[in-house]
Amino acid sequence: MTAQTLLRRATGLSVSKSVAERAVGQRMEQTGFADSETYLHAITPAEMTQLIELVVVPESWLFRDPQAFYATVELVQERWARGRATRILSIPCAGGEEPYSMAMALRDGGVPKQAFSIDAYDLSPGCIERAQAGIYGRNAFRAQDVAFRERYFTHVADDCYRIIDALREQVTFRQGNLLQFDTATYSKHYDVIFCRNLLIYFDKPTTRAAIQNLSALLADDGMLLAGYAEVPSFCQNGFAPLQFRQAFALKKDSTPPAAVIQVAALPPARTLRSVPPAPRPRRRVPHRRQPQRRRARVPCRYSKPLCKRTCWPKRACWPTVASCAKRAKKCHAHLARVPEAAEAYFMLGIINELAGKMDLADDYWRRCIYLQPDHYEALCHLALLAERNGNSTAASTLKARAARIFQRRQASN
Ligand SMILES: C[S@@+](CC[C@H](N)C(=O)[O-])C[C@H]1O[C@@H](n2cnc3c(N)ncnc32)[C@H](O)[C@@H]1O
């Protein structure tokens, strides 16, 4: 078995051949093995752990994408008001930045400690050790506002700060692999799960397996917080977005698949018909609302040229063949005037995807990223398309590129 396959099986990570070989080379140097075949053949569980440490990406910082923490505080407060404590899981937790941010946000929100518990897991024992120590350097304090450092950290050395014991005690850290989690014992155990910036490193089958485990661990009325680039994967695998701005929050989707196509959820390619397939029977109940049927209303990122409202997904805004053709015409007319209009190419990609013309969609999104290499949405669509086409290497590269862009955006916001 190659180093790449071995690592992929153990971690789920789409590790490139060169990264896997470099890691093996490093370990061979440290352990005195002369050739990689012998090293891989003789590898022990302890040595495997050392090897894995070299390929994981433990990048994290305190209050990364902070809206997720504020959305959780709201949920915990609301549950506590009804006498219910909230179980929170952070997986992967890297060096503890995420669960500690959660604990700080809850304390800032005046939530009593008996109102919640926080479990945090990471594949890497090194990460768990760092998390338990709770000592952070400059990189962990990348958030815009670091006033929390004064409240919750003590200065230990030059640029090093240690989290106060009162907060450290609120998080239980353990080493664990999401793909091997004991979902039977912890079935529906958690009310809130943070699983951010992990699936971007997985291929499609592994992503599906990971989401299945998360779904098994999450209570039916629970909330899951994902990384921005990971929302489409969740929507494709039984989750639906929740309305919390910039929190990338999702819930288990209990509604049957709607007749409308959810652009943000990136469904498998379908042929666009003038009437969406299998429409739900229309019922004339103008005065009676059906809350269970209502979908979260969130600002629509994709349909700006299609719809000026902030309603997504909403049947009324869904384009018909005729309206798509009109919009495509507008895009082409716009491109005739402004040939470098990346956004117009992006929209043409969407329109063609809806029409089931995936090759054309691919071509337009590629033109879009040629003109605007940091077009995040186009990269995500291309990644998902590559995945659908079974090209997992291209998909991983595109996802990683999208994730880097997203991280840059967040850092500069
Ligand atoms: C980029 S960090 C994300 C940390 C944090 N959730 C965040 O968003 O800041 C990715 C982490 O995933 C961990 N990891 C990789 N594969 C894993 C797996 N199969 N199960 C649990 N953790 C895993 C790595 O050790 C690494 O610390």
- 404: number of Cβ within 10 Å: 15
Check whether 398 has a pLDDT greater than 50: yes
Same domain, 248 and 386: no
Same domain, 248 and 304: no
CATH assignment of the domain containing 354: 1.25.40.10
Same domain, 96 and 186: yes
Enclosing H/E stretch for 88: strand 86-90
Per-residue model confidence (pLDDT) at position 44: 96
Looking at residue 229, its amino acid is: A
Decide: 98 in ligand 1 pocket, CB within 6 A.
yes
Counting Cα atoms < 13 Å in the Cβ hemisphere of 331 gives: 23
Same domain, 90 and 223: yes
pLDDT-derived band of residue 396, with 50, 70 and 90 as boundaries? confident
Residue 275 domain-assigned (yes or no): no
| Lowest pLDDT segment from 52-61, 86-95, 389-398 | 389-398
pLDDT-derived band of residue 340, with 50, 70 and 90 as boundaries? confident
| Number of domains the chain contains | 3
Instruction: State mean pLDDT over 347-360.
Output: 85
Same domain, 169 and 98: yes
Computed from CA positions of residues 251, 241, 399, 125, in that sequence, does the dihedral angle turn out positive or negative?
negative
17-46: pLDDT as tens digits: 999 999 999 999 999 999 999 999 999 999
Residue 137 domain-assigned (yes or no): yes
Per-residue model confidence (pLDDT) at position 371: 81
Same domain, 106 and 196: yes
144-195: pLDDT as tens digits: 899 999 999 999 999 999 999 999 999 999 999 999 999 999 999 999 999 9
Residue whose C-alpha is closest to residue 270's, from 254, 280, 259: 259
Decide: 13 in ligand 1 pocket, CB within 6 A.
yes
Check whether 275 has a pLDDT greater than 50: no
Instruction: State mean pLDDT over 243-258.
Output: 80
Residue 389 domain-assigned (yes or no): yes
Percent of the chain residues past pLDDT 70, beyond the cut: 83
DSSP states along 276-343: -SSPPPP---TT---GGGPPPP---SS-TTT-SS---S-GGGPPPHHHHHHHHHHHHHHHHH-TT-HH
| Lowest pLDDT segment from 76-80, 112-116, 277-281, 344-348 | 277-281
Per-residue model confidence (pLDDT) at position 91: 98
- Ligand 1 pocket, mutate which of 15, 102, 198 (most atoms under 8 A from CB): 198
Q: For residue 41, what are the domain limits?
A: 3-53
CA gap 239, 250 in Å, rounded:
6
Compute, in angstroms, the gap from residue 13 CA to the centroid of ligand 1.
10
DSSP states along 164-206: -HHHHTTEEEEE--GGG--TTTTTT-EEEEEE-SSGGGB-HHH
Closest residue by CA, ligand 1 atom 1 = 59
Same domain, 86 and 223: yes
Per the prediction, the chain carries an average pLDDT of 83
Looking at residue 376, its amino acid is: Y
Same domain, 72 and 200: yes
Check whether 250 has a pLDDT greater than 50: yes
Cβ-Cβ contacts under 8 Å for 18 (sequence gap 6 or more): none
Decide: 127 in ligand 1 pocket, CB within 6 A.
yes
Per-residue model confidence (pLDDT) at position 235: 92
Compute, in angstroms, the gap from residue 302 CA to the centroid of ligand 1.
29
CATH assignment of the domain containing 195: 3.40.50.150
Per-residue model confidence (pLDDT) at position 64: 95
Per-residue model confidence (pLDDT) at position 320: 58
Residue 262 domain-assigned (yes or no): no
